[in-house]
Amino acid sequence: MVLEETDRKVNVISCNDNTCTKDVTIGSTMTLTTSSDSTEVLLHVNKGLLFKPGKSLFSMTQIRHFKHHVDDTLQHFGGKRCIDTLVGHRLLFHLDHGVLIAKIQHPTEDEMKHLDVIDLMSNIPWDSSKLDEDEVLTIDTQLGLPGCH
């Protein structure tokens, strides 16, 4: 369920078939999912990508930046394929052709009124380029380097 559409747009490039989806709107949505303990919860995605209904794409870096613990490593490589939220829910993913998928659905009005809401991302506009600078500074500091850019 779309809650808000902004005037901001991005282009999304696919690594699978070298296509580009142009002018994808950034906005906020609410969706229903089930946590690992079978509890139904609402996911509030602020400033996410709004594709056609039923399709979304989460930035795991953006979710990490909002302080949720993300383990997007495949189980084959020792990972858990999940997000442990700040409020204690574990959201699981399944693998579909190499892509991690969360089962979601449109919430009813009753579910919107009564279920717990998990904010996956901040409502503040997110600038991923700031993380690039932080990452470089952190690595440089750890290695004792004077700022290799």
Rounded to an integer, the average pLDDT of 91-106 is 82
Share of the chain above pLDDT 70, in %: 77
Share of the chain above pLDDT 90, in %: 17
pTM value > 0.75: no
Confidence of residue 62 (pLDDT cuts 50, 70, 90): confident
Mean pLDDT of the chain: 78
Integer Cα distance of 47 and 26 in angstroms: 6
Amino acid at 34: T
In terms of C-beta density within 10 A (0-12 exposed, 13-18 middle, 19 or more buried), how is residue 83 classed?
Answer: buried
How far is CA 18 from each of CA 12, 14, 57, rounded to the nearest angstrom? Answer: 10, 5, 17
How far is CA 30 from each of CA 41, 91, 107, 127, 146, rounded to the nearest angstrom? Answer: 10, 15, 8, 22, 44
Q: Is the pLDDT of residue 90 over 80?
A: yes
Would you state the pLDDT for residue 56? 65
Confidence of residue 135 (pLDDT cuts 50, 70, 90): low
Q: Is the pLDDT of residue 145 over 50?
A: no
Rounded to an integer, the average pLDDT of 10-31 is 77
Would you state the pLDDT for residue 110? 96
